[in-house]
Every structure is written in structure tokens, then in C-alpha cells.
Amino acid sequence: MQCNIKKSTFDHYWQSLANPILANPTEKVSTALKTLDSLLNWENVFGNDHSVEIEVGSGKGKFLKESAQRNPKINYIGIERASKYFKRSCERLAKHNITTARVVYCDATYFLQKYVADQSVNAFHIYFPDPWPKKRHRKRRIFNNSIWISELVRTLNNKSGEIYIATDYKAYFCEIQELFDCHPTFEYCPLKSTETNYIQTNFEIKYRKQRRPIYRAVYIKP
């Protein structure tokens, strides 16, 4: 069973790199990103000049949908590399006629490297990233990827850009905290980290029902 899971994970990774897609669910329009010869211009993507926030791992699209409904003056990008959940996110946004959200089928690090301009993202939402709990797999954790960290720094707005993080895995959370606390670019924001009026993802709802502790943090570019 474990072999099947690993194979599926890497299948999703390579498939999303081979054919990255930017979807506008309400208009039922998709763009093959490899046809582009320049970085994405958010104003062209959304048809407005609102700020942009990115969710890494959009899953079933709950956070994207509810965030767009709550904050109509913010544009949202959801990145999902599993084709099943990419489709689920698109279906959810289309069903609720969400016009200020798009879904990207791609690996997150690759998407930032190839298609996102410097300082063009106001916030990243990184909720329940795969903790890869086995020691031999920990190098696969997204926050253990130095390229990913450098791309966060490059693409996040220098004027109080924000990174929202949540996980149920304490050891991983401690590693993430140590990474950001030691990084010269970021500053911990205790007030936002302890807010309670936030949108819960499907994973958080599930884990809270199981009485798992949830660890959250917000870091900003001061």
C-alpha cells in the first residue's frame, strides 16, 4: 500500500510539471502555462488591480471559496498538483460563481520560479503541508526546500507581505518556527497568529474533530 501512495505522489508531481495549467473556473477557461513567454501579470489574469494572495495546496477549494466571498477586493490563486483536487477546487469555485479566484495545476515551487514576478504576492497561505513523518522522507518537506524559501522571499511583497502557516504536526511546526525565526527577512506576528476568526480548511475541521492540536503562525516582511 505504501508503494502505491509514493508512486501516486510522484505521478502528481511530474504530471503537474509536464502540463501546468491556470484555470478560470467561472469562465471555464484554462491557459497552458508553458505557452507563456513572460511572467504572469495579475491585472491581466484577474481583470483588476486588487492584491493577490496564494494558497499552496487548495484541495477541495473550501478556503479559496470562503476567502473570496469574505474578501471581494482580494484576488486568490490556489495551487494544487493533484489532478483530482485541482478539478474539485475548480468545480467548487464555478458552482458558487467565484470570479476573484483562479486555480493552478502545478508544483508550487516550480510555479513561483517560472511564472510569478518579484514582490507581486501579498500573502501566502500554507496550511497542513505534508509532514513526511518518516526520517528518510523529511527532505521532501516543502520548508526543507531552500529554493522554495528563496522564492517566498523573492515573490512576497516587501511592504508587510504575510505568510500564514498551520499544521497539526508539532515537530514540523517547531522546525518551521526555527527556520523563520532565524531568517533575516521575516518577523513573527503574534497578534495575527492568535486570531480566532479565520477560515478553517477541510483538514483543520477534520483534525479538530479528532481533537488534534493545531499549530498556527503568521510571519511578515516588516
Best CA proximity match to 77, nearest among 137, 43, 121: 121
Give CA–CA dist 143/91, Å, rounded.
29
Give CA–CA dist 65/83, Å, rounded.
18
Give CA–CA dist 92/90, Å, rounded.
5
> Which candidate in 37, 107, 118, 130 is catalytic?
130
Active-site annotation holds for 107:
no
Catalytic residue list: 130
